[in-house]
Structure 1
Amino acid sequence: MKLNYILFLAVVVSCCNPLFGQRKGYWQQGVDYNMSIDVHEKTYQYDGQMTLKYTNNSGQPLSKVYFHLYFNAFQPGSMMDHRLTSISDPDPRMTTNLGTKEKPIYRSRIAPLTPKQIGYQKIKSLTFNGVNTTYKVDGTLLEVTLPSPIVDGTTATFQIEWNAQVPEQIRRGGRNSKEGVALSMAQWYPKMAHFDEFGWHLDEYVAREFIAPFGNFDVKINIHKDYIIGASGVLQNPNNVKGYGQNPSIKAVNNKVEWHYKAENIHDFAWAADPKFVVDSAKSNGGVNVYTVYLPKDKLSTENWKQALGLATEFFDFCSDKFGAYPWPSYTIIQGGDGGMEYGTATLITGGRNIKSLVGVIFHEAAHSWYQHLFGINETVDEWFDEGFTSYVEELAFQQLFEKKGAVDSNPVIAAYRAYYKLALSGKEEPMSLLADYYNSNYAYSNEAYNKGAVLAQQLGYIIGQENLNKTFLTFYDHWKFKHPTPNDFKRIAEEVSGINLKWYFNLFINTTRKIDYAIAEVTPNSIVLKNKSDFAMPLDVLVEYEDGSNELFYIPLREMRGEKPAENIDIYKGITRTILEDWFWTNPDYVITTGKPAKKVWIDPSQRLADIESSDNSFVR
């Protein structure tokens, strides 16, 4: 074992100490994958062997374990297949419209797959500490009954042999994508299910996201010598394969070469392969080796990929400064899949985009390195915590690095606010705490997860102050990296940083569809009457310009906050006197500000960070 790896583990273990902000009794399971696969390119099949070491830290014995077999979703009659015909607005990438635009009749693209087109992962043998086990496959889950329990504090060894077929490219992983990528290998191996304080997470692969334990990966891929691979982790033999080494010495056996990758402390491993791939790389100022692996379609697309590579290196420096240091040595951006999807130290994205779109999707998926992969967020339960915070990070970086704005707007995610308002007024909004797969529409899911989640983050800065929000992100990183925090853990950090109680905010914004709606009801020569027209109370910033030309910012805390946000260094408030008023009770819909002199103009929240669904009555001009 290398010394630097020992030190790395020591840092990770030290962060589990309750003094560093963890819940009392916090624990997590551990996995260590060692896999070797032999790819049969012509039939799109492969044979796999795995040695998995699984460490039980749960405080209880485990008599069963579970694995995910995600490729099994791509079979006629699967839950994914049925969902595509039952949801009101199915993913167009996964369906065929047999009707018209006005009267669509959707057919799942999974339904007509032939036996040679489907995906599957078939277990050939499975042993536990050298002893045969009893197991059964149920859809995309493999249930394993153990001959003896895994005792708390011990490590068990599983040996698995399996055969798999890569499905047609329908969702994330697959063969022969629309852009011509031969193999997009996502969710391709028997993946240990996650077990934590909430029990086993046994979600069928229906549509959405994932959760898995952190672990180490040692992966060997045997494939035809003409193929080039992009993957998670660090390539161990760059001089023995195409595309990477300075002086490659490729020694093929039966026309195949072995690609060897290692990755530490990640919870998913993905790769893609194609003979036409080219590889480019650059290093960030912080030392992150960033790779792009793509198809050189034409001169413009190649130029776009090269420009995107430079911006990607800047992105990792930007995020390391604002959200915590990127802890892995590399990140690989691979053309493949059907859109954009994050994996451990890598992403699969489609490449046929203009430069703005290409950079945007790279920034989004790379931002998942923090809000998903560093924190192991349970995307199946808290999808907004993953996608929403990632969207927030993406937009901040995009405005500063791509659009070259000197200072980020007081509300950099105003577009997410507008999308949320549209959702809130559509009648289709559902509580953001809903399990990711269970939304009645993809419209509701995407706007809840991506847009309302980003609004939650930005509006939190309005409540506790932007500087406190910035500090919350960094403190959260220090306390919770390489673990599996919940939204409540983030809330607790924000409360500790700001001294403000946030239970009411997280509860109402996440668990209900209540909406914020304030109004200026009346302005007299000596007072301003405010009204809460909704059932969601918030603190208010009210900016007043008096008839004598002076300005005053009134800050009205909410009683439930049990504290106040500090004055903010925002351009629109600079040089303006700030007056802190008495708390506003949520039980009282009205509030009166006594001004003492006539007001010419009045604005509720000029920074536009308050998610008020009707802003037309938030300003007054005499």
Structure 2
Amino acid sequence: MVILPFFIGVNVYYMKKSSLLAIFTVVSAAVGAQSNYNPAEAFAPLFYPSAGNEYRSASGEPGPRYWQNRADYNIVSTLDTAGHTVAAKVEILYTNNSPDALKFLWLQTDQNTYRKDSRASATTTASGGRWANTMFTEGDVIRSMVIEENGKKYTPEYMTSDTRTQVWLSSPLKAAGGKLKLTIEYSFEIPEYGSDRMGRMNTRNGWIYEIAQWFPRMAVYDDIQGWNVLPYLGQGEFYLEYGDISYSVTAPANMIVVGSGELLNPAECFTPEEARRYAAAKLSDKTVLIRSAEEIGKSGMSNRKGTTTWRYKIQDTRDVAWGASNAFVLDGAQIDLPGGKKSMALSAYPVESIGADGWQRSTEMVKGCIEFYSKHLFVFPYPVATNVAGIVGGMEYPGIVFCSYKSKGKDLWGVTDHEFGHTWFPMIVGSNERKYAWMDEGFNTFINGLSSAAFNNGEFKKQSYFDDPAVGETVKSVFSDKGDVLMTAPDVVQQANLGNTAYFKPSLMLQALRNVVLGEKRFDAAFREYINRWAFRHPTPWDFFRTMENVGGEDLAWFWRGWVFNNWKTDQAVRSVKYNNSVPANGAQIIIENLQQMPMPVTVLVKERNGKEQIIQLPVEIWQRSGTYAFEVATTTQIMEVTIDPDKKILDWDRSNNTWTGR
């Protein structure tokens, strides 16, 4: 496959110099500079905690016997708008592909996080902030539970512990393909503010419901830990099995219900005119109104009585979510995907969201970001991409996202692009968000810069952090000793540090890896290969590290140590410049230093009095033995300036020592 350089324009600066490379000779190293640098630690030979195996190859790809379990769901639900409740029955077809017979199952019952006695109430709500709950419910109220296996049904013993429910089986579920069906009837009250993941909001035309974490879901059983049973506390997100999900929502007939996946019965849900517009939107490159603001409360669906059942289906997914309201304006357009494939962009929002650069532009934005990521990363796998305006500031689910109804212009693009960027991390590449937020939030933040540069000729293009006059403050914040390292569980990260730890720093890390260490071609090839290898699978951080190294062709242990496992800083400095025999025409010896613990490759710009400029590129290996490095440059006249990292590609801790000026 030909790898195209699709990252062009994102923090990439090309050197336009008269001479791109000077012939130089290494004459010295280890000249005894005082620094915090320890090359033996940075370049320690042992990095990976274990060797590759038959499940996960040492090369970073799934091994020949890689397995993961599967969970298919069929859900029948009813929305009660009088009591703000959802009542449902879920049938879970669970397949045990593991080599282990399972005596019990674990379910995630996340609505229990909103109970007054939950762990989240003690650890997250008590401390306040975005993920704090503002009201309490009874959580998931389980009415009944039945298991069917080999034609026999029985009621299992089960026990709920906070947001986890353990179900004991009458006999172990066979390894390597054993199946059973678990049926649960349950209900829950919809919290008004559901930790900025879900909730409900009243508008002038009625309530908007954004429903997520709404059915008992199978916990992941994997080859790394067995059952993954970290509780849901609010700040940490999700880790889920893949499968196909069919679900229905019965709601008042004057409400629109939008959800993950394909609407199977639009003719039953819309009026004939609205159904015609819905079909037209699927084929239109421009946004088509399916229900207008003027029709709300006056015509079309607004005049319907009784209830309507909306039926949806989505394949190869880890979750589903949905929104419902009689206040929705609804519009849509066609999404063009590679290979002639098509999808649909939908936006559902209240009249309060309409205004200058308001939600009437949402569908245009959904279409733009989905088409970009599909072209450059991996094809969007779902039939519809729906953006819902409501109380949730920004949250992602397969095929549907919830964004603030207040957003507009640049903010609306930013939140829409970010939440749909999560389609690739972690909806397609299914990493463990409950443990490694940097693998989804950080990777997504990185690709958001690419799509922003491309959308509508850069209408919302982000300024490079490296060009920002306040870059020094950014460096001090990102690499602060008080910050949490990337390899910190999300629920352990201090709330004030989450923006850096989960989003900003890992994005900068990928930029550094691409722009400075691997170069665009090798990075692009490795990054795409990582997505393709682990699409709809469960990679660990080590699988990512191994893939980037094996495909990129570099041992990057020193890089991961500094960026992921430590808060190491980079501080490259010019120590001295001396002419050979004190004569500029004889050439000069330049000594540079690495004063902090993070090594990085070095770019040096040398300017002479006669106008000649030389760029010297030095590999990271110059720091393997010492924190100082000496090299010679051929000069004919006096050196006026020596500058490290002249194009400012490195987030240097102290740029004041990057330049030496001749006197």
The TM-score with structure 1 as length reference comes to 0.84
- Aligned equivalents of 1:415 and 1:326: distance in 2? 37
Aligned residue in 1 for 2:591: 529
The counterpart of 1:515, out of the listed 563, 569, 581, is 569
Q: Is the 8 A contact 2:353 2:406 kept in 1?
A: no
- Aligned equivalents of 1:412 and 1:221: distance in 2? 48
Aligned residue in 2 for 1:68: 108
- Aligned residue for 1:177, secondary structure, equals strand
The counterpart of 2:650, out of the listed 602, 610, 622, is 610
Aligned residue in 2 for 1:158: 182
For residues 38-73 of structure 1, the C-alpha deviation after alignment (integer angstroms, 9 at most, x for no partner) is 221100112211111111111101111111111111
AA at the equivalent of 1:209: E
- Aligned residue for 1:620, secondary structure, equals strand
- Aligned equivalents of 1:170 and 1:17: distance in 2? 37
Q: Is the 8 A contact 1:518 1:612 kept in 2?
A: yes
Q: Does 1:234 align with 2:267?
A: no
The counterpart of 2:306, out of the listed 214, 235, 255, is 255
Unaligned 5+ residue runs, structure 1? Answer: 1-15, 95-107, 560-583
Q: Does 1:199 align with 2:218?
A: no
The counterpart of 1:376, out of the listed 424, 430, 448, is 430
- Aligned equivalents of 1:454 and 1:549: distance in 2? 37
CA spacing shift, 1:246–1:489, aligned 2, 3 Å: same
For residues 95-139 of structure 1, the C-alpha deviation after alignment (integer angstroms, 9 at most, x for no partner) is xxxxxxxxxxxxx634xx4xxxx2511111112222211001111
- Aligned equivalents of 2:461 and 2:410: distance in 1? 20
Q: What is the deviation of 1:275? A: 0.6
- Aligned equivalents of 2:607 and 2:65: distance in 1? 53
- Aligned equivalents of 2:467 and 2:450: distance in 1? 8
- Aligned equivalents of 1:159 and 1:276: distance in 2? 34
- Aligned residue for 2:358, secondary structure, equals helix
- Aligned equivalents of 1:77 and 1:203: distance in 2? 17
Aligned residue in 2 for 1:137: 160
- Aligned equivalents of 1:86 and 1:406: distance in 2? 37
Q: Does 1:123 align with 2:123?
A: no
Aligned residue in 1 for 2:502: 449
Superposed CA RMSD: 2.8
Q: Is the 8 A contact 2:125 2:131 kept in 1?
A: no
AA at the equivalent of 2:330: V
Q: Alignment length, in residue pairs? A: 560
Q: Is the 8 A contact 1:30 1:215 kept in 2?
A: yes
For residues 335-376 of structure 1, the C-alpha deviation after alignment (integer angstroms, 9 at most, x for no partner) is 134211110111111121231100010010111111111111
Aligned residue in 1 for 2:50: none
- Aligned equivalents of 1:143 and 1:415: distance in 2? 54
Q: Is the 8 A contact 1:220 1:261 kept in 2?
A: yes
Aligned residue in 1 for 2:92: 52
The 5 Å alignment of 1:484-563 reads 484-525=538-579, 526-559=588-621
Aligned residue in 2 for 1:109: 134
The counterpart of 1:246, out of the listed 262, 265, 276, is 276
Which range is displaced more, 525-534 or 456-465? 525-534
Q: What is the deviation of 1:30? A: 0.6
Q: Does 1:187 align with 2:213?
A: yes
- Aligned residue for 1:31, secondary structure, equals strand
The TM-score with structure 2 as length reference comes to 0.79
CA spacing shift, 1:22–1:419, aligned 2, 3 Å: farther
Q: Is the 8 A contact 1:72 1:120 kept in 2?
A: yes
Q: What is the deviation of 1:297? A: 1.5
CA spacing shift, 1:414–1:247, aligned 2, 3 Å: closer
CA spacing shift, 1:586–1:149, aligned 2, 3 Å: same
For residues 394-435 of structure 1, the C-alpha deviation after alignment (integer angstroms, 9 at most, x for no partner) is 112112215628999887897997675233464421221111
Which range is displaced more, 264-273 or 408-417? 408-417
Q: Does 1:21 align with 2:61?
A: yes
The counterpart of 2:129, out of the listed 63, 66, 91, is 91
- Aligned residue for 1:240, secondary structure, equals helix
The 5 Å alignment of 1:279-318 reads 279-286=330-337, 287-297=342-352, 299-300=354-355, 304-318=358-372
- Aligned residue for 2:172, secondary structure, equals strand
- Aligned residue for 1:205, secondary structure, equals coil
Identity %: 25
Of the two, which has the highest radius of gyration?
2
Q: Does 1:215 align with 2:243?
A: yes
User: Relative contact order (C-alpha < 8 Å, sep 6+): which is higher?
Assistant: 2
- Aligned residue for 1:210, secondary structure, equals coil
Unaligned 5+ residue runs, structure 2? Answer: 1-54, 279-299, 580-587
- Aligned equivalents of 1:610 and 1:324: distance in 2? 29
Aligned residue in 2 for 1:434: 488
CA spacing shift, 1:510–1:419, aligned 2, 3 Å: farther
- Aligned equivalents of 1:437 and 1:523: distance in 2? 49
